[in-house]
A and B are shown apart, each in its own frame.
Chain A
Amino acid sequence: MQPFEWSTATSISDAVKSQAGAATAQQGASVRYIAGGTNLVDYMKLNAETPRKLVDINGLELNGIERLPDGTMRIGALARNSAVAHDESVRAAYPVLSQAILSGASTQLRNMATTAGNLLQKTRCVYYRDPSTACNKREPGSGCSAIEGHNRMLAILGTSAHCIATNPSDQNVALMALEATVHVTGVKGPRSVPISAFYLLPGSTPQQETVLVPGDLVTHITIPALPEGARSGYLKLRDRASYEFALSSAAVVLKVENGRVAFVRIALGGVGTIPWRTPEAEEALRGKAPTAEHFRAAAEVALRAAKPQSQNAFKVELAKRCLTHALMQASQQA
């Protein structure tokens, strides 16, 4: 770990100012906000992240979780993962979000981890974390060690010739299916970004993971109300029963009316370079009867573009089973 400076932000504008001068808010950022620290500090210890300065934002009052009059849920950037997952109104309105968060990490980590920190957590690709290896995400232009190496955990959707790393988050998969909006305050003031436009595919610049620019502080996220009668759920498949990242996961929102799928949103985790929304699969389901065959057919559509790597071809079938089963579960809820 390289030596770094520590400062404490006393206001949002103070925080924004302290990061504004940095060259990038992406990989290689010289100034980083620190929230729970559960991702950032780990990676600093491994020299995968090498900020010169940390700005502690924990003093900012950004931890509220509230239901706005129009039914929108507003979750502060610093709301702890455990607080969100156990919040009564979140559990009632968005079971998928609560389930997704609780399926991740451990109790201790969730007690520290924050909404924004989770939103911005880095990939678990083993090469990204090992500075003795080539990695385009960590060191642009150095090459990708994973493509011909250990890639069992990595992505099959949204990959490029430069990077195949998975976005490892569970929370973000749920947020994708819930069409959340990320609210950011930057040098030019506040703005909001729909989550579908928040993450960037790796392409030839895998070091750029989001649309954030220097100074941008995530202040909160909002989640629109779901249609009356919609069910939601999260299913995560992994090597062991707990405390492990997804090999494949699915967040689904489903409303069945008169024996037909009236509303559906699907996002996949563990398989995409970003939390993976699949409008085509949703389209394929709309108006169909909620049967295992139709769900499986939608899953086929969702994985149509899958491009497996040397060790993870199994994820294609696994993701299909995962999505099919998640939809089955949602359709069977009372």
Chain B
Amino acid sequence: MAQETQTNPKPMFESKVIGVSTPRIDGPFKTTGTAKYTSDHNFPDLVYAWPVTATISSGSVTGVDTSQARKMPGVVAVYTHEDIGPLYRTPPAAGFSMIQDERRPPLEDAEVRYYGQYVGVAVAKTVEQARAAAEAVRVSYKQTPLNINGTLLGTPLSTPSMRRGSHRGDAAASFEASAVQHDAVYKTPSATHNPIELHATVAVYDDGRFTLYETSQAIVNHRDTLAAVLGVSPENVQVITRFLGSGFGGKLWPWPHSALAAACARNLNQPVKLVVSRSMMFQSVGHRPAIDQQVKLGAETNGKLTTIVHNYVNHTSMADDYSEGCGEATALLYSCPNVDITSGMARRNVGTPTSMRGPGAVPGLYAVESAMDELAVKLEMDPVALRLLNEPEKDESSGKPFSSRHLAECLKVGAEKFGWSQRNPAVGSMKNAEGMTVGWGVAACSWGAMRIEAKAMVELLVDGTARVTCATQDIGGGTYTTFAQLVSHETGIPLQKVAVVLGDTRLPDGPISGGSWTTATITPAVLSAAQNAVKALVQVALRAQHSPFAGKSEDDLELVEGVVRLKADTSVALSQEEVLRLANIKAVSGNAESRGTLGAHNDYSFHSFGAQFVEVTWQPEIARLRVSRVVTVIDAGRMLNPRTAQNQIEGAVVMGIGMAMFESTEYDERTGAPINASLADYVMPVNADCPKIDVTFLDYPDYHLNALGARGVGEIGMAGVAAAVTGAVYHATGVRVRSLPVRIEDLLVPAHGHEVA
């Protein structure tokens, strides 16, 4: 396969599709209900699986009585750890394959380590029968003491000591010597991904081959991982995710239900559908862990930072190590000579945590940016000015220059749009037109930009259309549309004539949909594949019988808007259809593969930046707090499709509001059960909670990352929101909430200067 070509990208100003707001090409399928999501796949003889889940969180299964369940109508099988058949552990992750957060295959043994762990599965002809049978299975347990202690910092760790991350200078000494000091602990609770689409697997088994319809944000990894779990070779597993009802990171890596469904299909030699219930979504498919973060900031009296210490501990499960990278942005956001970041994990009887939109940076920046706000109060300094003062020249953690950093401009533009200069810093001093108290808060944000490996294929067809294929998936963010835009941009074929086929591991291996890397990653692969397809078409044009281009060379020709023509005399031209018809060729294709920046040597530090400005309104007479206004300014490279990009930021801001004000998975201390495991009890923002969100993109292309200068916008919009909200809450109420979410009970105190930790 051809390597990527960095040369010769189309200059931006010529593009009719890049940077142009483009409606999703898959929109009509979704709005008409014809988009086939995973659980919409049905087959003759399909049966339904419903897991039996543990009602303890620590101990072991001593007996499973399936006799009643087996007799129930429609029941085909009931499996436990004794008869599910072989399921293997995956070997350790290597690079970007075999990634799995919960590595124990389902029903491996009788051990129970978290509430809701699968201890059996019932299979029946209808989903209702399967559920009824699963509920009729009687499981007895031997319980051992559980630990779901919500305090993490200062409790025993999974390792002998904290792990040291990025560090420079002598933070301990400089903190002691700092004229102004701030030292506080910030807590974020467990949070559960709640995409509308439930996790699901439809497993079809045929003579040693598995076809798995999955709700996956990473089908290639899913294929390789499930092949290992099922003990078959990867070519015997095909994974399909045509549409995803979103994932927010929760669907990146395979969870036990997938192997469970596949094992049932194998055992029964029959297609099996398993849809994880909403309450199980709170148990066995990951969550953002609870995290305690200590942040110490030292500064000179003029606000210049001297010290940043960031120590944090996240909970992880008993069997797996999930570490939340809260310090990623801490090391590079500001100029500061002394930095020390350490982290640890504390084991609890909970399901294994996983990435949630903006993993690491989102909770990490809540802590660090809250601390910056508190420091600004101590310094009696404007929090925007404090950040501008500490703007670094380069990434001080690596010493590398930033590929493209415009945080200062984000802050300035945001301040201007928000009207920040009108801010009176005195607590509770500002009122809106209706006389309600308002509070204003600000936070900066950052998110790493990256490219990973990807392959893609572009075909140019005799009917004048193009087709692009890649084993990546559109998780709702607009990836189908991005592919079409890229091909249209490179070939001149109109968007409507570009077919995009994704979501099937039979296609060339594509990237995961995570880390906001998709756009940056597919751009070079698709552009190169399209260039190669065009070259192939030109070759055909030169060689076809009776070609008007006979005797010319490749360099003499160009493809413009689907027409191959002589550069010297553009009237000598053949359309793509004519070329291929003349040669009796159905389609020409171009393949390409692009490398990643991950693990490779890079000359630059690649990051996106942004600024969040938040207004809250506060009515103390009824203890009512609302986020009333958000201004977000984002520096994330070139926006290939401003329309879908804006959607991403708006959605992320809403999730940020949810994190700040509502979301928290609560565990019953006695059983370890996530107790608010339903959409009624797990509070998230509804439309009425969503204020006007003003999104601005600075739109500086980052040509160091790829030819179009695109980075990615899936996560950055959520970072910083919670800190801006709690800063605004402090400004309005005088209450500093250091334990999310901000709740009514935190704000009922009459006095100012209160702290909630």
Find chain B residues with CB under 8 A from A126 CB.
Answer: 675-676, 681
Which of B102-110, B208-216, B740-748 forms contacts with chain A? B740-748
B672 to chain A, nearest CB (A): 12
Find chain B residues with CB under 8 A from A247 CB.
Answer: 744
CA distance A243 to B131 in the complex (A): 28
Find chain A residues with CB under 8 A from B689 CB.
Answer: 240-242
Which of B157-165, B299-307, B352-360, B618-626 forms contacts with chain A? B618-626
Q: Is B128 in the interface zone, CB < 8 Å from A?
A: yes
Name which residue of chain B comes closest to A313, CB basis.
B745
Find chain A residues with CB under 8 A from B623 CB.
Answer: 237, 318, 321
A204 to chain B, nearest CB (A): 23
Inter-subunit contact A314/B688 (CB<8 Å): no
CA distance A325 to B676 in the complex (A): 30
Considering only residues 1-44 of chain A, those with a C-beta below 8 Å from chain B are 1-3
Find chain A residues with CB under 8 A from B131 CB.
Answer: 1
Q: Is B132 in the interface zone, CB < 8 Å from A?
A: yes
Q: Is A218 in the interface zone, CB < 8 Å from B?
A: no
Among B661, B662, B687, B744, which residue has the most Cβ atoms of chain A within 10 A?
A: B744
Find chain B residues with CB under 8 A from A321 CB.
Answer: 621-623
* B622 partner, pick from A3, A241, A244, A325, beta carbons under 8 A: A325
B452 to chain A, nearest CB (A): 37
Inter-subunit contact B666/A150 (CB<8 Å): yes
The size class of the interface chain B forms with chain A is 20 to 34
Q: Is B135 in the interface zone, CB < 8 Å from A?
A: yes
Inter-subunit contact B744/A239 (CB<8 Å): yes
Q: Is A294 in the interface zone, CB < 8 Å from B?
A: no
Q: Is B270 in the interface zone, CB < 8 Å from A?
A: no
Q: Please, what's the 1-or-0 string for B614-651, where 1 marks a CB less than 8 Å from any CB in chain A? A: 00000001111010000000000000000000000000
CA distance A282 to B563 in the complex (A): 85
Inter-subunit contact B687/A317 (CB<8 Å): no
Considering only residues 584-630 of chain B, those with a C-beta below 8 Å from chain A are 621-624, 626
Q: Is A133 in the interface zone, CB < 8 Å from B?
A: yes
Q: Please, what's the 1-or-0 string for A228-254, where 1 marks a CB less than 8 Å from any CB in chain B? A: 000000010101111110010000000
Find chain B residues with CB under 8 A from A240 CB.
Answer: 661-662, 683-686, 688-689
CA distance A133 to B743 in the complex (A): 27
CA distance A133 to B668 in the complex (A): 11
* A239 partner, pick from B666, B668, B683, B748, beta carbons under 8 A: B683
Given A126-B676, A242-B689, A314-B748, residue A237 in contact with residue B622 (CB < 8 A): yes
Find chain B residues with CB under 8 A from A244 CB.
Answer: 683, 686
Considering only residues 41-86 of chain A, those with a C-beta below 8 Å from chain B are 47
* A124 partner, pick from B624, B671, B673, B680, beta carbons under 8 A: B680
Find chain A residues with CB under 8 A from B744 CB.
Answer: 237, 239, 247, 314, 318
Q: Is B41 in the interface zone, CB < 8 Å from A?
A: no
Q: Is B55 in the interface zone, CB < 8 Å from A?
A: yes
Inter-subunit contact A314/B622 (CB<8 Å): no
Find chain B residues with CB under 8 A from A145 CB.
Answer: 668, 670
Name which residue of chain A comes closest to B749, CB basis.
A317
Inter-subunit contact A149/B670 (CB<8 Å): yes
Name which residue of chain A comes closest to B741, CB basis.
A239
Q: Is A322 in the interface zone, CB < 8 Å from B?
A: yes
Find chain A residues with CB under 8 A from B671 CB.
Answer: 133
Inter-subunit contact B135/A239 (CB<8 Å): no
CA distance A196 to B596 in the complex (A): 71
Find chain A residues with CB under 8 A from B688 CB.
Answer: 240-243
A99 to chain B, nearest CB (A): 15
Find chain A residues with CB under 8 A from B683 CB.
Answer: 239-240, 244
Find chain B residues with CB under 8 A from A3 CB.
Answer: 132
CA distance A247 to B495 in the complex (A): 52
Inter-subunit contact B132/A1 (CB<8 Å): yes
Find chain B residues with CB under 8 A from A130 CB.
Answer: 673
Q: Is A333 in the interface zone, CB < 8 Å from B?
A: no
Q: Please, what's the 1-or-0 string for A139-178, where 1 marks a CB less than 8 Å from any CB in chain B? A: 0000001001110000000000000000000000000000
18 A–B contact pairs at CB < 8 A?
A1-B132, A3-B132, A124-B681, A126-B676, A149-B670, A150-B666, A235-B622, A237-B744, A240-B685, A240-B689, A244-B686, A314-B745, A314-B748, A318-B623, A318-B748, A322-B622, A325-B621, A325-B622
List B residues at the A interface (Cβ < 8 Å).
Answer: 55, 128, 131-132, 135, 621-624, 626, 661-662, 666, 668-671, 673, 675-676, 680-681, 683-689, 743-745, 748
List A residues at the B interface (Cβ < 8 Å).
Answer: 1-3, 47, 124, 126, 130, 132-133, 145, 148-150, 235, 237, 239-244, 247, 313-314, 317-318, 321-322, 324-325
Known: A145-B668, A242-B687. 7 other contacts (CB 8 A): A126-B675, A132-B673, A149-B670, A150-B668, A150-B675, A235-B622, A325-B622
